[in-house]
Copies of this chain bind each other. A is one copy, B any other.
């Protein structure tokens, strides 16, 4: 039973929710307090506080306490592995297509002359 990219599990989970992605978008412009973050949404402050905890667990945001205010800031590091995963899958798919292409080209090259040598140019 294979397990995929186990460490960044929390990252994908955190990114699955539109509100949380929206929060990250906000924070990518600079840090903000919890109340500030919550203001644009129609949900309760507590709900946003929960979203923040999920993002924190995924280490996508960091918290700096200054008195009663908690300042949240964006940490893009975990996004790196997510982006890498995506890039890898796209690469694998493309290279598989290229291999197929090369195979077909080789067969095309082999048939016209009825000359059955292998294609050495690639």
Contacts and interface: CB of A to CB of B under 8 A. Distances in A.
Interface residues of A, number: 39
Contacts of A86: 79, 82-83, 86
Contacts of A87: 83
Q: Give the number of copies in the complex.
A: 2
Interface in A1-18: 1-6, 9, 12-13, 15-18
Nearest to A21: B4
A89 B28 contact: yes
Interface string A25-42: 100111000000000111
Interface stretch (A63-71, A90-98, A103-111): A90-98
Contact of A83 (B1, B13, B42, B83): B83
Contact of A2 (B40, B74, B83): B40
30 contacts: A1-B41, A1-B42, A2-B22, A2-B40, A2-B41, A3-B18, A3-B22, A4-B18, A4-B19, A4-B22, A5-B21, A6-B18, A9-B18, A12-B15, A12-B16, A12-B17, A15-B15, A15-B16, A25-B92, A28-B89, A28-B96, A30-B96, A74-B93, A76-B89, A76-B90, A76-B94, A83-B86, A83-B87, A83-B90, A86-B86
